[in-house]
């Protein structure tokens, strides 16, 4: 998350600032009939450090709505998350934030 | 917590009790997964194990770059964990090792991923889908009956391990999405 400047304080641009135009990317996990619900909860907790409550809520969204946004960030971060989800056998994709 | 196969030992580690036939069956399934992984890239099960990262057709270049970088590592990871698990299971299948297997952290992750690959592979072969649900009982004369039964047993087997590992994860987390 970008730090916001306090009003009246000029913040000097830093060399490693994320460009304003860099759209956030989102990672979507899709439902499939093989993966156990408990497995999906485990993967969400293990990979993203989510609470049981949040991991379960996201899993239920995948189960009932067919998909859920599970994380967001820069493109390379989301590509990495997708690869790790695929290693667990989940079906995940990334796209620009909706 | 003790299930039919998986339990937590007094040492806090996961223990796995398998008889020789069970170990042999799992080894056979792991061999089938290995055959798929080293076979044709356009096999439907391969496409499920290595799906696209980008659905947007305008991101095809990014998709190919990502596949070229991530694909070989993912394939290697899948093959390596099958190989490691086979090393543990072969003595059990041969009747040479009868004590429970004791899992380290790497073995826990290996089992979690490999069992899911096995269920995806077997599920793909017998046509598990939202229409043909896994809890439908096959007809008595269904030639795929034994495969469905095996799929059910594997589901219990995997489910038991998942529940045990979930029990050890904290309830709280860092919910920052």
Query: CB count, 10 Å around CB of B11?
Result: 8
**In chain A, which residues have their Cβ closer than 8 Å to the Cβ of B136?**
none
Whether pLDDT at A13 is above 60:
no
Contact B116 A33 (CB under 8 A): no
How many Cα atoms sit within 13 Å of B144 on the Cβ side? 15
pTM, to two decimals: 0.87
A-interface mutation test, from B169, B170, B171, B174, most A Cβ less than 10 A away: B169
**In chain A, which residues have their Cβ closer than 8 Å to the Cβ of B67?**
none
Contact B73 A82 (CB under 8 A): no
Mean pLDDT of A56-79: 97
Mean pLDDT of B56-62: 96
Which is it for strands B6-8 and A67-73: parallel, antiparallel or unpaired?
A: unpaired
Q: In what order do the strands lie in the sheet with A67-73?
A: A67-73, A25-30, A91-96
Span of A1-5, B17-21, B108-112 with lowest mean pLDDT? A1-5
Q: Is A34 on the interface with B (CB under 8 A)?
A: yes
More confident call, B164 vs A3 = B164
The predicted pLDDT at position B170 comes to 86
More confident call, A21 vs A70 = A70
Of A82, A78, A70, A67, nearest to A22 (Cα)?
A: A78
Using CA atoms, how far apart are residues A2 and B104, in angstroms rounded to an integer?
Answer: 39
Contact B166 A95 (CB under 8 A): no
Q: Is A72 on the interface with B (CB under 8 A)?
A: yes
The predicted pLDDT at position A3 comes to 44
The whole-angstrom distance between A74's CA and the closest CA on chain B is: 13
**In chain B, which residues have their Cβ closer than 8 Å to the Cβ of A97?**
none
A-interface mutation test, from B45, B150, B166, most A Cβ less than 10 A away: B166
Mean pLDDT of B67-79: 97
Q: Is A68 on the interface with B (CB under 8 A)?
A: no
CA distances from B74 to A50, A72, B22, B131 (A): 24, 22, 27, 30
Has the ipTM of the complex gone over 0.85? yes
Q: How confident is the model at residue A8 (pLDDT cuts 50, 70, 90)?
A: low
- E-only strand ranges, B21-126: 101-103
DSSP 8-class letter at B57: G
Whether pLDDT at B92 is above 50:
yes
Contact B56 A95 (CB under 8 A): yes
Query: CB count, 10 Å around CB of B161?
Result: 22
Q: How confident is the model at residue B146 (pLDDT cuts 50, 70, 90)?
A: confident
The whole-angstrom distance between A77's CA and the closest CA on chain B is: 12
Query: CB count, 10 Å around CB of B110?
Result: 20
The predicted pLDDT at position A11 comes to 53
The predicted pLDDT at position B105 comes to 94
DSSP 8-class letter at B28: H
The predicted pLDDT at position B19 comes to 95
Spatial neighbors of B16 by CB under 8 A, at least 6 apart, are B5, B6, B100, B101, B103, B111
Mean pLDDT of A65-89: 97
Whether pLDDT at B89 is above 80:
yes
Residue entry with tokens 């939202």? B130
The predicted pLDDT at position A2 comes to 41
The predicted pLDDT at position B116 comes to 97
**In chain B, which residues have their Cβ closer than 8 Å to the Cβ of A94?**
53-54
Structure tokens at A21: 């135009």
What average pLDDT is seen over chain B?
91
At B41, give phi and psi (nearest 5°).
Answer: -70, -25
Over pLDDT 90: what percentage of chain B? 78
Q: How confident is the model at residue B171 (pLDDT cuts 50, 70, 90)?
A: confident
**In chain A, which residues have their Cβ closer than 8 Å to the Cβ of B154?**
none
């Amino acid at each position: 998350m970008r730090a916001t400047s306090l009003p009246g304080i000029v913040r000097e641009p830093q060399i490693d600032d994320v460009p304003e135009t860099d759209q956030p990317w989102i990672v979507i996990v899709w439902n499939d009939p093989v993966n156990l619900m408990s497995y999906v909860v485990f993967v969400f907790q293990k990979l993203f450090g989510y609470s049981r409550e949040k991991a379960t809520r996201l899993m239920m969204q995948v189960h009932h709505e067919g998909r859920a946004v599970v994380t967001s960030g820069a493109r390379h971060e989301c590509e990495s998350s997708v690869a790790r989800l695929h290693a667990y056998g989940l079906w995940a994709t990334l796209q620009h934030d909706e | 917590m003790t299930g039919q196969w998986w339990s937590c030992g007094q040492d806090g580690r996961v223990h796995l009790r398998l008889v020789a036939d069970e170990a042999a069956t799992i080894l056979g399934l792991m061999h089938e997964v290995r055959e798929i992984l080293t076979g044709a890239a356009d096999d439907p099960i391969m496409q499920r194990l290595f799906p696209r990262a980008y659905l947007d057709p305008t991101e095809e270049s990014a998709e190919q770059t990502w596949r070229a970088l991530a694909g070989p590592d993912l394939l290697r990871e899948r093959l390596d964990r099958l190989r490691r698990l086979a090393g543990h299971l072969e003595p059990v299948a041969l009747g040479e090792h009868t004590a429970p297997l004791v899992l380290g952290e790497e073995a826990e992750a290996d089992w979690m991923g490999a069992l899911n690959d096995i269920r995806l592979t077997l599920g793909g072969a017998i046509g598990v889908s939202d229409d043909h649900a896994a809890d439908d009982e096959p007809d008595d004369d269904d030639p795929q009956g034994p495969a469905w039964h095996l799929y059910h047993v594997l589901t219990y087997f995997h489910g038991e391990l998942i529940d045990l590992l979930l029990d050890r994860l904290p309830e709280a987390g860092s919910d920052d999405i």
